[in-house]
Amino acid sequence: MKKLSVLMGQLVLFATALPAFAQTEAKQVLMVVTSADRMDGGEPTGLWLEEFAVPYLLFREAGFEVTVASPGGGKVPVDARSLEDGVQVFAWAGAIVKLEKTLPLGQAGADSFDAVFLPGGHGTMFDLPDNDTLKNLLGDFAFEDKVIAAVCHGPAGFIGAKKADGTPLVAGKTITAFTDAEERAAGLDDAVPFLLETRLREEGARFIAGENWAAHTEIDGNLVTGQNPASSKEAAEAVIRLLKEE
């Protein structure tokens, strides 16, 4: 009986400790959004809400911790055109609140995160390509072979970013982004500083353009890119799969 009692006691202790062994540390995702609220001609711009809200909510549903950062920190400008569906915006309320006070990008380091995700919006075309902090951050993610993802105009943040060997981050990579055809169809090809597809091709990317406005995502190793707002869900799901496979 004494041996049985001791054994039962050991089993109780093991069962009590089991949850601690079973728990795994949550994956950490850094989302980098624009701080730009105007185009060069003065037209209002900012973040395209769907491209942030859909991935953010999917990441949280997957159990990931999400940190939102921007070049300027603080409140993020949101493109008013992405707020037209009031019912959908209401459903995204849990994500929208995270745009009120974002972390200054300079306070985010690759060592603290498992993945980085760049949502789009035309604002990204004006403050991400020349941001040295972002270039260095993406270089660190690439060096550590961590997941790098972007959707729509988010890949504007890849412009000028380099790998450890000095070659462009996207060189030789199969990617997609908001296409030149979509930019022209939107009537904003003269409002942006460059055409994103063209510039990414110039940096050596193997660019794949899908049908205008249709969901299209490319995955090349740990690099995930989505073409347009409709690709937000696909791109986020690809990131989730990659992180859960680690």
Count of the separate structural domains present in the chain = 1
CATH number for 187: 3.40.50.880
If pLDDT is split at 50, 70 and 90, which confidence band does 2 have? very low
Reported as a single tens digit per residue, the pLDDT across 90-115 is 999 999 999 999 999 999 999 999 99
Q: Global pTM?
A: 0.91
pLDDT digits (tens, 9 = 90+) for 126-156: 999 999 999 999 999 999 999 999 999 999 9
CB atoms within 10 A of CB 188: 16
Whether the predicted pLDDT of 17 surpasses 70: no
Residue 97 included in any domain = yes
Residue of 245, 230, 243, 225 whose CA lies nearest to 59: 243
pLDDT at residue number 12: 35
In a domain, 2, yes or no: no
The range of the structural domain enclosing residue 97 comes to 25-245
* Contact assessment for residue 162 and residue 138, using Cβ atoms and an 8 Å cutoff: no
Q: Quick one: average pLDDT of 13-19? A: 42
Report yes or no on 17 lying in a domain.
no
- pLDDT at res. 246: 81
Which residues fall within 8 angstroms of residue 132, CB to CB, at 6 or more apart? Answer: none
Each residue's pLDDT tens digit, 189-244 = 999 999 999 999 999 999 999 999 999 999 999 999 999 999 999 999 999 999 99
| 138 in a structural domain | yes
Indicate whether 65 belongs to any domain.
Answer: yes
The predicted model gives 81-98 an average pLDDT of 97
